[in-house]
A and B are shown apart, each in its own frame.
Chain A
């Protein structure tokens, strides 16, 4: 089979040589594949823009000895362009793409993961829900498909009917007072309800949740993912979470004033220092 055609979502790209890129695609039929896009970094490339992360494409590839080569690519959905216009959605989408990359294997078809990622990217690009909620819902459901479905109601160890207050990563979710291991977390009941709603796709409950429960839920969802993956997901550290309860981070009425470089460590600190001086 020298030539094959499939639809897929671009998970990541890596520079190769002078003007090429290695493109990692999660395809509908073949699972994850790594292909070479020849000359896609040149401004005159015919399909360079179609092989950017978060793009959904119909690709035709030629099988090679090590890596396959893209011969044609047509856009099916260009979510990447929309997502990159907002930093919050960009970082959340990057975390979803990296998670998909980590949870799938090369040349092992995984239609459920493909459809889940497709739905999550579409939802995020359309701005239907808070990007942080979409990300957490994606993480929980992707883990569930991978066989690590967390429990947010019944005891994850003995199955005793809930609701239970304690949450333990190693046990796989909420645990009853009898099974509760030492060091288990005790999140707010509303946080557990939010996580259960995200896992089940109950967006009415999720959208109505409060900021502090979303923050706690995000921490638990990220920790649950990191626990089950052997290597951490780097993008999660950089996700720019929107806090619905907080004031806007940048106040446009504040004029900029110089922040001494020596006393600031981060960009956030630089801006905070300038605001304080103003």
Chain B
């Protein structure tokens, strides 16, 4: 145990996700040894991010104003909405440069065992957005795990009667992997979603 403010810093750093007591101690001593200007810059960024960043009123993504960069961009295709669990999923899909539509961040997935139900997610906000006649396709890009699949089937149950094209991201083999190491569930889904070779 250290005394006073040093221990306070270690305790605060230890509350961050993925930072254990040893890592917290290491970061604290790194900050103590760092130049004052570097520490000041970190403090300013932390203060600024907390003051400026909020959630987009339309899609729930992180934003610096009422609307995020994607929702405010008139060049984006408004007919397709990609539904994701977290803001970091938006970044992952944006990296592909394959999708030019807009997003909707649910804020998680339905997980009864954790007490998270449909009303805890931004589903009713999605329904309100879909009332716009512009949207013709909803791409459900929740995680390919049990909670993500269940959330997708829940959404599909509501969205299909609305006459929209409801699609789900394909599941299958990762690029660069060996077939023999694929598990049965993934390989089974890859077979389900096989496509015609157009050569």
Contacts and interface: CB of A to CB of B under 8 A. Distances in A.
A251 B146 contact: no
Contacts of B161: 250-252, 254, 256
A267 B184 contact: no
A18 interface: yes
A115 B114 CA distance: 25
A255 interface: yes
B167 interface: no
A265 to B, nearest CB: 8
B154 interface: yes
Given A97-B113, A237-B117, A261-B125, A84 B146 contact: yes
A250 B124 contact: no
Contacts of A52: 145-146, 185
B174 A44 contact: yes
Interface string A29-61: 000000000000001101111101110000000
Interface in A226-267: 234-235, 237-239, 250-252, 254-261, 264-267
A264 B118 CA distance: 14
Contact of A94 (B113, B149, B181): B113
Contacts of A48: 183
B158 interface: yes
A135 B83 CA distance: 31
Nearest to A235: B112
A234 B114 contact: yes
B125 A98 contact: no
A266 B174 CA distance: 38
Interface string B104-124: 000000111111011100011
B113 A235 contact: yes
A258 B158 contact: no
A50 B163 CA distance: 35
A95 interface: yes
Contacts of B130: 256
Contact of A258 (B18, B125, B131, B188): B131
B110 to A, nearest CB: 8
Interface string B147-190: 00110011001101111000000000010110001011110100
Contacts of A91: 112, 150
B102 to A, nearest CB: 18
Contacts of A154: none
Greatest chain A CB density within 10 A among B113, B163, B183, B184 is at B113
Give the 10 A-B CB pairs with smallest separation, nearest first. Answer: A258-B131, A235-B112, A84-B149, A256-B162, A94-B112, A90-B150, A49-B185, A238-B112, A234-B115, A238-B117
Interface of A: 12, 17-18, 43-44, 46-50, 52-54, 75, 78, 80-81, 83-87, 90-91, 94-95, 97-98, 101, 234-235, 237-239, 250-252, 254-261, 264-267, 270-271, 274
Interface of B: 18, 110-115, 117-119, 123-125, 127-128, 130-131, 145-146, 149-150, 153-154, 157-158, 160-163, 174, 176-177, 181, 183-186, 188
8 contacts: A48-B183, A95-B112, A234-B113, A237-B115, A250-B157, A251-B161, A255-B162, A267-B127
